[in-house]
A and B are shown apart, each in its own frame.
Chain A
């Protein structure tokens, strides 16, 4: 019985690895196929004649590099702002008694479930009137608002578990309140804040609906939006290999973050949902 279970677990393990990594391997393999190879049709998995041409071409493509800068800038700024606002709110929710606490949490939950597309029309209308259409702030503002719920839930779950008495203990031992905060509370709270930041960044990096609706040029178009408009000269024959290359490049930051912080991401994803 035990042996059978172990075999099943191992088979499951391999199945999960295959499920998760195979499509990534496919995209990487495709990114090394030459344009000529995909033009005549190349149904096999591996490239016949691997080439780096797609990578040099995509890095020389100003539209793509510009979109990459937009993606990084917009995602990082909205992450930073969302985490600041969420930290304030989550601290209040976890530590203070105030009226309307339930209401704030319910509002956050309602907004997490909000259909983003429903806002495309009115936001388009408002943003063109206020000159926010096709600008960085035009995307940063909604990204911030839509990531706040996730950040607030994750952070308040984290903050509830911090032993706040330690702050007073440090003060009793002669630390000033600033020292107590900086030396005791910041190191305890930092992992939670950091996790919320990663989850927020993933959201902004991935966002597509607003990115295609509220932008019109590469001045503010992010990579997902730019990729969807990257059709190439022949509409019936999309530039497979180049799109695959762009996919690999835009996935690299995700892989790096996941490799470095996998434990924290899992904790963050599940803490808010199950314990909250």
Chain B
């Protein structure tokens, strides 16, 4: 059935062009609990696994019927392959064996058994075969969903380029989906600084958000085009439009490749003011991306999303292993590990402290939570310190509102260090400590905080939201969320001044460092480092290399003198567009 071409517009949230087939996401969350079971529970876990297996078979059977009715038999083999995997003794026996032998629950065993196969696949030096690991992941996901008792996702278009369409998304939705065939994201709701937008940018997935309607306008399997640079979505494109955009997609990629040539240059203005460029990292796979794009380190390793299932109580061993991986990979560069900052609008739906908070953004999050849950804090610190034996590590405190919190945390670190010492466990006693400045109270007293730490890192998303009293994800007021407001500029100015007076470095790790028009401003304010989405590094660097400090200072003076931030924003973006064409493709 061919329908009329239609254009839907929204906010451009992650650059690039994607052409693909719609996969409508029915939002459901799978949490993968990992736990040890005692001997009495073993048989129960095995029976859970067995019934998940038969449930999965039944689902695949239905799916097979559906797919062959809707799409003919061409893709049926993929479904049959899944069926054969479920019947594969080497998988099912392994899983049961793991439950028995390691005394772990069914979910964990499924994951482990499948991980073994993935590892086998990774060893194959042929890219095509290595990619087959994704085929097993569908089986894994299906089993885990059944074990969790949640509804299955119908992967109708798993075998081809997929654009995920949803009413709204959580980062977990993206983390959990198989990303190999995912080429773009479109949503009805959300803002540029919603967590999934940030994630889309770091994964280099073109993304258009806030369209209000897109999820109602499409069906599974529809062809759509997504332009993440202009914020447009084309539904039911004709073949000419399709070809034209395919051409534009290639052009876009070519420009980006060109920019990457600055990889080995410093981020230095024409008059030799150097800014250090780090990458923000949410997922392990971004570490490679960071290195490829010339990151001089990791400015923020957000630990909340690193662990599958996102459990706050991830074991110390699991954490050590994970941090160690990142630290070793980034060597000799520094990795700044931010302590768990489970936000109020928690990723995982369940309120952390067992209570619903009416205003979670102002609630129990970041170090406020950690200082209450000292065991979690200590085990994370122990893990980070152990990783510090393998490379350069720094620790970053999120959601600081008062210098006394910093002192308490420093004290806890001391205690943990002396415990490790007693136990003869290696760590780097000189790890640097940094505080996030994201609450106005911290910004205004940054002079005192600066006395207790080695660097300050400004989280602009929250700082702006708290300073202006604007919920950044609420479209009704999103236009009031403006980094150019005099109050924000004032705070940005103050913090850098306080930091430098104390002789420490100050940087920005919020989203504004990703936005081209703000970069000259941050340079003019004399920030020492910017930590941005890995893919933005070449563009940010290019802008820095094309300006002078004198020019940047002029921007600051001009912006500081303005009363109307939205007018200013318009001016800046026009100026930016003419000054730096081609830098942000």
Same assembly: no
Binding site for A on B (CB under 8 A): none
